[in-house]
A = this chain, B = another copy of it.
Amino acid sequence: MDIGTLLGFILGFGFISAAIMMHGTLTDFIDLPGAMVAFGGSTAAVFIMFPMKKALGAFGVVKHCFLFRLPDPKEEINRLTELAMLARRDGLLALEKRIADIKDPFLVRGLEMVIDGTPKEKLEEVLNIEMQYIQERHTTGKKIFDQLGASLPAFGMVGTLIGLIQMLHELDDPSKIGAGMAVAMVTTFYGAFVANLIYLPLAGKLETRNKEESLLRELMIRGLAALVEGESPREMKTKLQAFLAPKARTNEERSAA
């Protein structure tokens, strides 16, 4: 899992819980009807807008994004170069033994096609479609979290309005006004807090992740195509380094220049 993201959640919840506990207790911020309005309402809106499969899939995308760490492009280049050296020495079929060690299903799929002797064009086409499909899942996930991030504060306000309207109807006992308003405002708090610390940052995270993963998949497709073409490992490495930031590749390129 990405350390920065985990750190972000810990910091965000930590700072805000600490700030609350300096002057009161966390229980002041628990309100069941408010939570029903804010989270129930905004989730319901997402179910109306998006096909159910995609709405539920969004959480899968997030989970996947946390549990499956993306390899560093540099490591990936090394792995592909190594596979190319193996293939050159022992033939493409020798790759088969390595597949068991690889956990990334995209790369497994690609290597199987290489071993089966799939022509380069077919391999690129199939993997590009696979990549577009991954991108679409990320994009839909981002859209859903953006929608939740816009909808939650609105339902937070709906909850506060409900609370205020009910409080104003029972204004006879002024001593209850304070507590009534406090409860009413908790729903707005839910909306502002969860949208800004969870939903919107997750939408941004999925966008960043989508870019990183697309770059990595393109790198892999380029590498697998080089395997099919029987390029020399050295040549392949030079080509794949075009995907790295200049600093990371400077040394080798320079010596090549």
Contact = CB atoms under 8 A, between A and B. Distances in A.
Interface in A146-196: 147, 151, 154-155, 157-159, 161-166, 168-171, 177-179, 181-182, 185-186, 188-189, 192-193, 195-196
Contact of A169 (B179, B247, B257): B179
A43 interface: yes
Nearest to A171: B178
Interface residues of A, number: 90
B204 A4 contact: no
A163 B29 CA distance: 11
A20 B18 CA distance: 29
Interface string A188-219: 11001101110011101100100010000000
Given A8-B46, A11-B43, A178-B171, A52 B22 contact: no
Contact of A44 (B3, B11, B48): B11
Contacts of A44: 7-9, 11-12, 15, 197
19 contacts: A2-B51, A3-B52, A5-B47, A5-B48, A7-B52, A8-B44, A9-B44, A11-B44, A15-B37, A16-B158, A23-B33, A23-B163, A23-B166, A28-B169, A29-B162, A49-B204, A50-B204, A158-B196, A168-B181
